[in-house]
């Protein structure tokens, strides 16, 4: 993974070299939605808009990707955020009695 480069760190402005910090990018994970035969399309679109902050057009596109291909990426997040998104999706789905499944994988 690429390291972050901070421009002009500690060089007093006259830059010949750039200092390199040790800060690493956080590891990122895909939140993947899985298709099933029972969860309504509109429920999935609503989840994508409300939980993953997708526009209505993008939410519809992702829902159809999952419906037609079996899976699709709802969003890309650090591990704990991805886990929380999945918890939210699964508890909303179960509340409404739908079998929607979501999983985390390496981005």
Binding site for ligand TYC (CB under 6 A): 33-37, 39-41, 44, 63, 66-67, 100
Q: Where are the alpha helices (DSSP H) in 8-106?
A: 41-50, 56-69, 79-95
Q: Cβ 42 to ligand TYC, closest distance in Å?
A: 9
Q: Which is nearer to ligand TYC, 36 or 46 (CB)?
A: 36
Task: Tell me whether residue 39 or residue 77 sits nearer to ligand TYC (CB atom).
Answer: 39
Spatial CA neighbour of 35 closest among 99, 87, 80, 97: 99
Q: What is the nearest approach in angstroms of ligand TYC to the Cβ of residue 37? A: 6
- CB 85 → ligand TYC: shortest distance, Å? 14
C-alpha to C-alpha distance for 6 and 73, rounded to whole angstroms: 31
CB nearer to ligand TYC: give 14 or 57.
57
Question: Which residue has tokens 């009695």?
Answer: 97
Name the token pair of 28.
């990122």
């Amino acid at each position: 993974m690429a390291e972050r480069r901070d421009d002009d760190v500690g060089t007093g402005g006259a830059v010949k070299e750039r200092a390199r910090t040790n800060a690493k990018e956080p590891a990122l994970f895909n939140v993947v939605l899985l298709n099933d035969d029972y969860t309504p399309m509109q429920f999935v679109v609503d989840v994508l808009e409300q939980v993953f902050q997708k526009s209505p057009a993008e939410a519809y596109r992702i829902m159809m990707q999952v419906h037609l291909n079996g899976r699709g990426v709802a969003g890309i997040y650090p591990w704990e955020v991805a886990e929380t998104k999945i918890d939210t999706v699964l508890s909303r789905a179960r509340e409404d009695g739908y079998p929607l499944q979501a999983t985390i994988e390496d981005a």
